[in-house]
Amino acid sequence: MKNKKTLALGVLAIAAIVLSVIFVSTAKAQKSDPVIKFSGNIDAGIQKYDSGTENLIRASESALSSSRLTLKGNSPDLEGMQFNFMLEGGLKPQSGTMGSSTNTGQIFAREAWVGVSGNAGEIRLGTTDVSLASEIDLLTWQFGNFSFFPVNGTAIELGADASNVIRYISPVFNGLQLQAGSAVNSSSATTDTEADIRSGSVTYLSGAAKIGVGYATKKATTSVGEIDAKSIGGAYDFGRVSVGAAYIYGDNSTTSTVRSTAGVYSVKVPLENGLSAHGVYATTKNDNQSTANEGRGYTLGLSKQLAPSATVYAAYSRVDNDANSTMYLFGMGATSAGKDPSLATVGINYAF
């Protein structure tokens, strides 16, 4: 009964937000055509990967920035209100394919939502992040995807690119912004599976400073089966150097209560003529293993912006694992316990 009351209150809250978005806006209507924008990013390269058990040369993609195709648009201003949409799918330039690598037929696995925005904020419905809690590391990165949280066993983050999402994004108040959402059961569900994700985040942006905190939880039929994640991060651009740091901890086990952690700390030093030096240091602790469960790793690299949309880059990454640790950095892939993987990458990134 308590769960049903909570669900009813949640539905009423969402309805109130939607109504406020529609009716609080009071500006006069402006006559204009709908705006449709097409954009994308292509990232491809070559890697030398040593997993600790195998050494190989392979093609790479999305090392610095995720390859994708994006279509987004909005309606004309309607009494201070706009309807919006976004479709975004992952692009795999090495094979020429598009869409999810795990769900057959899911083309727009990154973003596929429709929404409404106004003076009271924005509502999005569809496939998207539940809140910014799943992207705190993105807020602080200094070397693209190389700055993502490391993984040791099971990833701690929750709510990224989720389906069946109801998401609210508040207006910005003096640099502060609130996001809250829930990934609920699909339209084909016939019973309550108690597996929805609920998430919220608060961010503060002011000039050279960025700060964010987030919380996400995934429900289950038992308390032991529930998982959660708490994250915090920040970045500051000093001009001659930019730094970022993000930390996440949570229960990433569905069979016991644990507290796993991950941290990533990055720096970017602009040099001359579009050249920048980057450094990333990362740590993890997989609490699903009781001993020898920590990993440490780093990435060093250079990037050169040759045109406003074109960048070439090179990076070297390495991880040192304890005997029961399976930590890996972005681009490496899962590794065996106790192995120390390394990765050398050169690539080209072009945004359009």
Q: 250-275 pLDDT, tens per residue?
A: 999 989 899 999 999 999 999 999 99
Q: What is the pLDDT of residue 16?
A: 60
Q: Is the pLDDT of residue 8 over 50?
A: no
**pLDDT digits over 131-189, tens only?**
999 999 988 999 999 999 999 999 999 999 999 999 999 999 999 999 999 998 877 77
If you average pLDDT over every residue of the chain, what do you get? 91
pLDDT band at 28 (very low <50, low <70, confident <90, very high): very low
Which percentage of the chain shows pLDDT scores above 70? 91
Alpha-carbon span 34 to 28, nearest angstrom:
17
Q: What is the pLDDT of residue 220?
A: 87
- Give SS3 for 24: helix
Q: Is the pLDDT of residue 3 over 90?
A: no
pLDDT band at 31 (very low <50, low <70, confident <90, very high): low
The pair of structure tokens assigned to 26 is 């009071």
Alpha-carbon span 283 to 323, nearest angstrom:
15
Q: What is the pLDDT of residue 4?
A: 44
Q: Is the pLDDT of residue 198 over 80?
A: yes
Say what the pTM is: 0.89
Spell 205-216 as b/e; 16+ CB within 10 A means b.
Answer: eeeeebbbbbbb
The pair of structure tokens assigned to 351 is 């945004």
Q: What is the pLDDT of residue 27?
A: 44
Arithmetic mean of pLDDT, 25-40: 71
Q: What is the pLDDT of residue 105?
A: 77
Q: What is the pLDDT of residue 185?
A: 83
Q: Is the pLDDT of residue 221 over 90?
A: no
pLDDT band at 5 (very low <50, low <70, confident <90, very high): very low
The residue type of 177 is Q
Q: What is the pLDDT of residue 20?
A: 59
pLDDT band at 56 (very low <50, low <70, confident <90, very high): very high
| Closest alpha carbon to 328 in 65, 148, 173 | 148
**pLDDT digits over 284-327, tens only?**
999 999 999 999 999 999 999 999 999 999 999 999 999 999 99
pLDDT band at 22 (very low <50, low <70, confident <90, very high): low
Pair 259, 233: CB distance under 8 Å: no
Q: Is residue 307 exposed (0-12), middle (13-18) or buried (19+ Cβ within 10 Å)?
A: exposed
